[in-house]
Amino acid sequence: MFWSDHAGKLGVSIVLRSENQSKIDYCNTQILKFIKEKDIEIVER
């Protein structure tokens, strides 16, 4: 995981590795659910 702070914003990078695609899909779903629940803005650069 990578964290950085630039101009009052926090950046996070998450790397998921597994041979089981369903585990990756589940983790991705949980991450997106958390982002929605916490009202976190996703900014693509």
Q: Mark 4-30 as b/e (b = at least 16 C-beta within 10 Å).
A: eeeeeeeeeeeeeeeeeeeeeeeeeee
Domain that holds residue 44: 18-45
Let me know if residue 35 belongs to a domain. Answer: yes
For the chain, how many structural domains are there in total?
1
pLDDT of 44? 74
Let me know if residue 9 belongs to a domain. Answer: no
Let me know if residue 32 belongs to a domain. Answer: yes
Let me know if residue 5 belongs to a domain. Answer: no
Angle at 9 between CA 14 and CA 26, to 5 degrees: 25
Note the pLDDT tens digit of each residue in 1-45. Answer: 555 545 667 778 899 999 999 999 999 999 999 999 988 888 777
Let me know if residue 6 belongs to a domain. Answer: no
pLDDT of 9? 73
